Each structure stands twice: as C-alpha cells, then as structure tokens.
C-alpha cells in the first residue's frame, strides 16, 4: 500500500506540482489498493489542462513501472515531456517573436484591463455605500495583481531567471 501511495505522490509531484492543484485518495477497501487523483483542470496561471488518451496511457505506465519495483522517482524535479515541449516552444519564442504571440498578448492585456475596471467599479460602489475599508482593499488588490502575461511569457521569464541563477552560480564557482 505504501508503495502505491509513494509512487502516486512522486508522480503527482513530478507531473502536476506548481502547475495544477490536486488531491489524492488511497483506497484500501478493495483487493488491490489504488489511489485516485483529482486534478484541478485550470492551472495556477489560468491555462486549462488538456489530457489526451496517449498522455493517460503514458502516466499509467510510469506509475505501474514505479509500483512494480523499479527505482523510485528521483527527488530532483524533472520536467514532463509535455512541459519540456512547452518550455522549448517558449525558448524558440525568445528567438522568434511571432504574430500569434502578439495577438495572445493583446487578449491577455485586454482581459486584464476589463478585470481591473470591474474591481475598480466594485471599489467605487463600496465607497458610495460607506464601505471605505473594503473599497481600499479592492483597490489594493488591483495594485497587487501580478503582471499580465501569456503562458509563454511566464515560461520565458522562468527560463531567463534560470539562466540568471545559473550564471550567478558559475560566477560564484570561479571565485
């Protein structure tokens, strides 16, 4: 039972952590223990998960291999094939900004402006009702919102940050 749960935890950590929220349930009330995983379809960055049958098969095979006695997954985080492909696409976009990327940026920025207008209208409404503290909280919420970025821009920023960290580590090693 512990093997099944540990394998599933490792799999979820590798495939889902920092991208999608998930919850697990270990079932031991049947002849073969198994774990159910429920995944929030929309990521923390607002991207919807699109799982294909081939992806499910691949995940099941990985999980079975781990449960069958192969070595547990390494503790260092390894990007899934899906995320590697997305990261590579972001790296290509660093070299070649394309037209569709610009359209996506415009959509994200317009959505952001609509969101800000909505919160500021809520703030004004609260102010007119004498709820000045709540109105200020709504305005502060707008000020504290993260920058409006496409998924590709989030990935590119991550790649750039990794490069900065790597260069800093290399510099530190030469001292």
Please give the helix or strand (H or E) that residue 25 lies within, else none. Answer: strand 22-27
Number of compact structural domains in the chain: 2
Asked if 20 and 39 touch (Cβ cutoff 8 Å), the reply is yes
The range of the structural domain enclosing residue 168 comes to 84-174
Alpha carbons 105 and 18: distance in angstroms, whole number: 23
Q: Please tell me the predicted confidence (pLDDT) of residue 73.
A: 47
End-to-end CA distance of the chain: 49
Clarify whether residues 73 and 155 are in a common domain.
no
Clarify whether residues 67 and 94 are in a common domain.
no
SS3 label, residue 93: helix
Clarify whether residues 99 and 165 are in a common domain.
yes
pLDDT tens per residue across span 70-104:
444 444 455 567 777 777 777 776 666 655 667 77
Asked if 77 and 12 touch (Cβ cutoff 8 Å), the reply is no
Q: Please tell me the predicted confidence (pLDDT) of residue 74.
A: 47
Clarify whether residues 105 and 148 are in a common domain.
yes
Last residue of a domain, one of 77, 109, 131: 77
Arithmetic mean of pLDDT over the chain: 80
Q: Please tell me the predicted confidence (pLDDT) of residue 128.
A: 96
Clarify whether residues 121 and 155 are in a common domain.
yes
Clarify whether residues 64 and 90 are in a common domain.
no
Q: Please tell me the predicted confidence (pLDDT) of residue 96.
A: 64
Positions of the chain with pLDDT under 50: 70-76
């Amino acid at each position: 039972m512990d093997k099944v749960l540990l394998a599933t935890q490792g799999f979820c950590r590798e495939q889902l952590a920092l991208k999608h929220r998930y919850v697990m349930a270990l079932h031991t009330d049947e002849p073969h223990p198994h774990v159910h995983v429920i995944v929030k379809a929309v990521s923390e960055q607002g991207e919807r998960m699109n799982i294909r049958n081939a992806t499910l098969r691949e995940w099941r095979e990985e999980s079975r291999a781990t449960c069958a006695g192969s070595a547990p997954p390494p503790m260092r985080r390894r990007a899934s094939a899906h995320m590697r492909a997305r990261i590579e696409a972001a790296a290509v976009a660093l070299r070649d900004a394309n037209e569709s990327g610009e359209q996506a940026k415009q959509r994200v920025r317009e959505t952001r402006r609509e969101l800000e207008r909505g919160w500021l209208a809520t703030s004004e409404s609260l102010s007119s009702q004498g709820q000045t503290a709540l109105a200020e909280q709504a305005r502060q919420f707008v000020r504290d919102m993260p920058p409006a970025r496409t998924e590709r821009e989030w990935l590119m920023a991550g790649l750039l940050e990794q490069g900065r960290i790597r260069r800093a580590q290399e510099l530190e090693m030469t001292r």
